[in-house]
Amino acid sequence: MKKRMLAAVMAALTAASLLAGCGQTNEKPAEQQSETKVEESKQETMAVVSEDGRKMSESGVYKTGLPIVDEEQTLKVMVIQNNPDVAPEDTVIHKEIQQATGVKIEWECIPATSWPEKKGLLFATGELPDIILGGNFTDAELLNMADADQILPLNDLIAEYGENFKEVCSKDESLLKDITAPDGNIYGLPRYMSGQDETLPSVASTRSMLYINKKWLDKLGLDIPTTTEEFKAVLQAFKDNDANGNGLEDEVGISAVGDFDTWFGAFGIVPSDSVAQYKNIMVKDGKVEFAAVQPEYKEAIKYFNELWKAGLVDKESFTQDDAMWGAKLKNPEVRTVGAFTAWRGTSYRLDNEDDEYVIMPPLTGPDGDCLYPKYYYGVQQRGTCVITSACENPELAMRWADNLIAPLNSYQFWTNVKIGYSIKLNADGTQFELIQPQPEFGTAEYNKQIGGSDFGICCVAADTMAMKPVDPDPFNVDNEIAQGKPLYTPHFPKEYYPNTFLSLEEAELISEMKADIDEYVKQMYAKWISEGGIDEEWDSYLSKLNAMGLEEYLAQYQAALDRYNSN
């Protein structure tokens, strides 16, 4: 039954099939099904129909369209903010949303730094708002809150009041699959960006790209390296020939913050992808494996130890934070770093004319391997928006939240730009155009438009992504993405671990072991690269991981993967 219903959802052939997929998976006895249908029929008969033909629930909420209500109603919304400088109620976008919906919001803003402590107290006291936005709840937290009747399952609410969310689901069969809990319920609206059309400039192919100092290459008459041996030789040349020309021996070949995983593909392994909680979790022939115990991982470590011993690695790579690293890349007096990985060129640029570094291709290793980590789109966070059991009008809450993910609203929250301020629709309403001159990002006036609304909710379908305007600036992020795609796309792994929804038991077992396993792997990673000794200590390392419960740890991920693939 469950498979048939989920298949209907993913096919999204009709609205009816989508609604069927949103239902719970436990079958009711025939007599209860009959009673339910009778009750639904009664409610349908009692529904109010407006002058424009829209149906309204008994709680005074229109099921489709705007406004949501005839008379202003109020919701209490708690929002967790990364940038609390501007309150949502002071922004232009939320004033427009209130006017369009007829729903007034009583905002309670919590700085993201205070949320971990506040979260525990909130659910302990039971003093809940109607909606929580940006809570970034884990699978275990969602299931525990559901078991405690603190949050509501959204299946039926989505079916009746989620017109925008259902529209996005109809375009991506994996969306509902990714947010449905093992018990068949949906407990939160997600942050979701479609990655279906990888030809779009706005669809990033990878989380980071490789950069190398082109100015130094040109000075020394060197080509961009394409193999691990060529790369080592180039870094050595940078070090030996005073590449930055300041007369000091201050050049570092490669610099990083914490790890060099992105480069490991040259040895046939990708230890981490865009889903941070899945570090070292990989799939090979349908089986979950741990990257940090593979022979390829060992060879990659040995290579970077060679670079370290040769003085070609920044000695602060395992101790510096992002701020220290960024200051090193953007040193206005002299550049000292030869190569690095970064989200985009904004990590090094001093200004829009700074082109000292160029994108380089993934390296090919000694055995001909050449892999590169892919940025997997889709559901980025499952519990971005939850409706609590304290909400007296869940229909109103669902309609209001669903309006946040309407295509144009989703676009604005995704890109952090305001329609009518920095972009505008073209004449036929199919494409955005830049408003010139472009307003300066991050100013008080800019933040007044949409700043403070960084609580994460958006559901951006591929056709909405395609509306993104073309920026003529060659250093624009989207244009850099376009440069990187042909270099990296052919080298993505054929298998990866998907965004599975863990059961409570799986989540708890993983939580019990994950921190210790990850910390031990991290310690040995840094030790072996900076000091060596991996050959001598490899067997004891494997034994210790097994003693820490690695087999049981992987079994939880395997069970979740098998369940995911069976739906």
Distance CA 377, CA 102 (A): 33
**Best CA proximity match to 248, nearest among 178, 175, 331:** 331
User: What angle separates helix 504-531 from helix 550-566, to the nearest 10 degrees?
Assistant: 130
Q: Give CA–CA dist 177/154, Å, rounded.
A: 14
Residue 260's alpha-carbon distances to 270, 271, 319, 322, 517, in angstroms, are 11, 10, 13, 14, 19
Q: Residue 155's pLDDT is what? A: 98
d(CA 115, CA 80): 7
Q: Show the low-confidence residues of the chain (pLDDT under 70).
A: 1-51, 202, 273-277, 452-454
Say which residues have a Cβ less than 8 Å from residue 423's Cβ, sequence separation at least 6: 417, 432, 433, 434, 435, 469
- Residue identified by tokens 């209490």 is 76
- The pLDDT assigned to 451 comes to 72
Instruction: Let me know: does 405 contact 193? Beta carbons within 8 Å.
Output: no
Q: How many CB atoms lie within 10 A of CB 324?
A: 11
In contact, 87 and 78? CB cutoff 8 Å:
no
Gap between the Cα atoms of 467 and 478, Å rounded: 13
Which pTM does this prediction carry?
A: 0.86
pLDDT of residue 64: 95
The pLDDT, as a whole number, for residue 11 is 40
User: What is the length of the chain?
Assistant: 567
Instruction: Kindly report whether the peptide bond that precedes residue 437 is cis, defined as omega within 30 degrees of 0.
Output: yes
* Side-chain half-sphere exposure of 267, counting CA atoms within 13 A: 21
Instruction: Tell me what pLDDT residue 475 has.
Output: 74
Q: Quote the pLDDT of residue 528.
A: 98
- Tell me how far apart the alpha carbons of residues 272 and 539 are, in angstroms, rounded to a whole number: 23
